[in-house]
């Protein structure tokens, strides 16, 4: 058998392109603000993770430009060797302070951060316990480790306790969960997770990719949101959402960070985060801390949209964050809904299996602090009109 046979037999994308409802890899030819253009078409963007609306902020752009001029375009090496700049270390100290931890470690992508951290900490004989709705990077990080993987039902604390009880006292136990779940838009029941973590002598890592900037008194994440900073052993975050750049980090006790620095293969054997990206994150972090009104505006925008969708008859699941899924069900129906929204000037993201369970396809919408009421009202009007046309809502 030819190893490429699976490629030749892969039909779904070809069929979708032929029928005109292929929704992925759409080129955007403008900045990623609350409105974008694609091939000259104006669209209201409700498919971005630019929660704070900082992607085009003058201070962020100026900081990136200054770093580019001082350090050049890249680092040409890994953090482990020649790729550590002084601004990497400055950012790490700022992130440690921001998350109330002893130390932090910056990596080149969020996906890489989970791969490096989980795979090197979960050794043979250990057990890693994950929520079934955890991000793919957590799933793959667990697969790279040499320990056993056990999953519990999404945000079901009774099921988590069942899993922990069955593991027993012998193995090292490591709970890894999203803080805000990227498709459902709900928040982990962190107080209960912490209670079980302590009861069964486990360690806890929270992936705050969609929480940093959004939750917490300063935008400092899920643990701070619940006042449980000291109870979360590792806080992980990304820079591709609220920090409008690229990269990721973990924050924890010094010894944990030091171990990952010397054993995380995805870190050691990857080129380091480019200087312009580092500078953008540092500038965004300052703005996030200095302008809490952005979080308040984001919260109001999300509430407006959630209540608006629900009033029309849409099912938004368990969302209580700026990520608001609109549940459709069938994959094909979801694709056609996405296409019609796009044709009417709305940029959204269709999510189908295997990203969600079969029969639970959805349109993933997400919001920014910089969306205007006029833009959001227009989105609601289009969702109502298109939803009725396609018989998705009554």
Q: What is the pLDDT of residues 242-262, one digit of tens each?
A: 999 999 999 999 999 999 999
Q: Which residue, 224, 227, 216, 206, is CA-closest to 294?
A: 216
Catalytic residue numbers read 182, 210, 241
H helix runs in 20-109, sequence order: 58-71, 86-98
Q: Check if the beta carbon of residue 67 is closer than 8 Å to that of residue 87.
A: yes
* Residue in the structure block whose two tokens are 């292929």: 22
Mean pLDDT score, 343-365: 94
* Dist CA 124 CA 143 (whole Å): 12
List pLDDT tens digits, range 11-30: 999 999 999 999 999 999 99
The domains of the chain, with CATH numbers, are 10-45+292-389 (3.90.1150.10), 58-290 (3.40.640.10)
Mean pLDDT score, 87-97: 98
pLDDT at 164: 98
- Please report, for residues 233, 265, 367, the alpha-carbon distance to residue 102 in angstroms, rounded to integers and kept in the order given: 11, 22, 32
**% of the chain exceeding 70 in pLDDT:** 100
**β partners of residue 35:** 44
List pLDDT tens digits, range 208-238: 999 999 999 999 999 999 999 999 999 999 9
Q: Largest Cα–Cα distance of the chain, in whole Å?
A: 61
Q: Check if the beta carbon of residue 281 is closer than 8 Å to that of residue 247.
A: yes
382 φ/ψ angles, rounded to the nearest 5 degrees:
-70, -40
Reply yes or no on whether the pLDDT at 355 is more than 90. Answer: no
Mean pLDDT score, 38-55: 96
How far apart, in Å, do the first and last CA atoms of the chain sit? Answer: 51
Reply yes or no on whether the pLDDT at 39 is more than 90. Answer: no
Within 8 A by CB and 6+ apart from 352, the residues are 331, 334, 335, 361
Average pLDDT, the chain: 97
pLDDT at 125: 97
pLDDT at 375: 98
pLDDT at 307: 98
Name the helix (H) or strand (E) containing 331: helix 331-343
CA 280 to chain CA centroid, Å, is 18
Q: Check if the beta carbon of residue 322 is closer than 8 Å to that of residue 47.
A: no
Q: Which residue, 124, 122, 199, 123, is CA-closest to 164?
A: 199
Grade residue 204 by pLDDT with cuts at 50, 70 and 90: very high
List pLDDT tens digits, range 158-196: 999 999 999 999 999 999 999 999 999 999 999 999 999
Reply yes or no on whether the pLDDT at 103 is more than 90. Answer: yes
């Amino acid at each position: 058998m030819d190893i490429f046979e699976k490629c030749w037999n892969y039909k779904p994308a070809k069929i979708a392109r032929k029928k005109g409802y292929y929704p992925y890899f759409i080129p955007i030819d403008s900045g990623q603000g609350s409105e974008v253009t694609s091939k000259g078409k104006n669209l209201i963007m409700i498919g971005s993770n630019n929660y704070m609306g900082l992607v085009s902020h003058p201070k962020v752009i100026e900081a990136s430009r200054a770093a580019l001029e001082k350090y050049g375009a890249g680092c040409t090496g890994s953090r482990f060797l020649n790729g550590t700049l002084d601004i990497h270390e400055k950012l790490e100290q700022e992130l440690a302070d921001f998350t109330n931890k002893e130390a932090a470690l910056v990596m080149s992508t969020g996906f890489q951060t989970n791969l490096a951290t989980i795979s090197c900490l979960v050794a043979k004989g250990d057990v890693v316990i994950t929520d079934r709705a955890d991000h793919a990077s957590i799933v793959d990080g667990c697969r790279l480790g040499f320990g056993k993987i056990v999953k519990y039902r999404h945000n079901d604390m009774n099921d988590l306790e069942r899993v922990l009880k069955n593991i027993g006292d012998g193995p090292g136990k490591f709970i890894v969960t999203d803080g805000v779940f990227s498709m459902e838009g709900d928040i982990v029941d962190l107080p209960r997770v912490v209670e079980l973590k302590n009861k069964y002598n486990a360690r806890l890592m929270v992936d705050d990719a969609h929480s940093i900037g959004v939750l917490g008194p300063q935008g400092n994440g899920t643990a701070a949101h619940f006042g449980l900073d000291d109870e979360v052993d590792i806080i992980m975050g990304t820079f591709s959402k609220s920090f409008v750049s690229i990269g990721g980090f973990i924050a924890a006790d010094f010894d944990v960070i030091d171990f990952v620095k010397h054993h995380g293969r995805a870190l050691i054997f990857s080129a380091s985060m480019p200087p312009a990206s580092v500078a953008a994150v540092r500038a965004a972090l300052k703005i996030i801390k200095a302008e809490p009104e952005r979080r308040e505006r984001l919260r109001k925008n999300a509430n407006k949209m959630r209540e608006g969708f629900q009033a029309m008859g849409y099912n938004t699941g368990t969302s209580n964050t700026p990520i608001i899924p609109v549940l459709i069900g069938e994959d094909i129906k979801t694709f056609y809904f996405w296409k019609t929204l796009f044709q009417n000037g709305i940029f959204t993201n269709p999510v189908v299996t295997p990203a969600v369970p079969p029969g639970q396809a959805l349109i993933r919408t997400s919001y920014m602090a910089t969306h205007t009421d006029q833009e959001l009202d227009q989105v609601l009007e289009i969702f109502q009109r298109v939803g009725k046309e396609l018989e998705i809502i009554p």
